[in-house]
Each structure stands twice: as structure tokens, then as C-alpha cells.
């Protein structure tokens, strides 16, 4: 009885996994006080896993609390990372690796 439910739920899980697989490994420093990195398809902000969503334009948004990190992968794989946070904080991130 549980197998049909599992089979119905499985396709819903596959697109999320495939979307995160395209995100390249990186480490970035943002605003002098924040570290962001990718590890195994997940994004971490200051060592804590963020909620990761792929946007319609192919970019990614990682959110943890009031901080959002925008990750764009260029056609040749070049990364562009920026952030927004509390009280209007925001800016570009420096890619370390």
C-alpha cells in the first residue's frame, strides 16, 4: 500500500535534485562578515544550510533567515554572487574558490 504512494512522490523529488546538481562548487566572502559555500549541491551561509531555489532565469537563490544570496552562473561557468540582508545591507561577494 505504501509503494504506490512512494512511486507517486518520487517524480516530485527528482526535479529538485537535478536543479541543484548544476550548481558549481564555490566559496565566497560577502560583506566582510559572511561566508557562503556550496557543498554537495547545498549552499551554506556562515556554516548553516540555506534554503536553495532555482529561479526561472537559471540563477539560484539561497536564503537563511533575513539573508538572501543570489548566485548566477554565466554561459562559460563564471559565477556572480551577491547578497541582501538586514537593514538594507547588500552588495557583491568576492569569490574565493
pLDDT single digits (tens) 36-69: 999 999 999 999 999 999 999 999 999 999 999 9
What CA–CA distance (Å, rounded) separates 35 from 76? 24
User: Residue 12 has what pLDDT?
Assistant: 46
Total domains in the chain come to 1
Among 57, 62, 59, which residue's Cα sits nearest to residue 39? 62
Most confident of 14-18, 19-23, 26-30: 26-30
Which whole-number Å values give the CA distances from 70 to 4, 11, 74, 91, in the listed order? Answer: 38, 27, 13, 10
Across the chain, mean pLDDT equals 83
User: pTM of the prediction?
Assistant: 0.76
User: Residue 3 has what pLDDT?
Assistant: 54
Say what percent of the chain tops pLDDT 70. 78
- What is the domain extent for residue 47? 2-95
Amino acid at each position: 500500500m505504501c509503494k504506490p504512494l512512494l512511486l507517486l512522490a518520487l517524480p516530485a523529488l527528482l526535479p529538485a535534485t537535478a536543479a541543484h546538481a548544476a550548481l558549481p562548487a564555490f566559496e565566497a566572502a560577502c560583506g566582510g562578515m559572511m561566508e557562503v559555500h556550496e557543498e554537495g549541491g547545498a549552499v551554506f551561509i556562515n556554516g548553516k544550510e540555506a534554503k536553495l531555489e532555482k529561479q526561472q532565469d537559471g540563477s539560484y537563490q539561497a536564503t537563511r533567515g533575513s539573508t538572501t544570496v543570489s548566485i548566477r552562473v554565466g554561459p562559460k561557468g563564471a559565477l556572480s554572487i551577491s547578497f541582501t540582508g538586514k537593514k538594507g545591507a547588500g552588495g557583491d561577494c568576492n569569490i574565493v574558490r
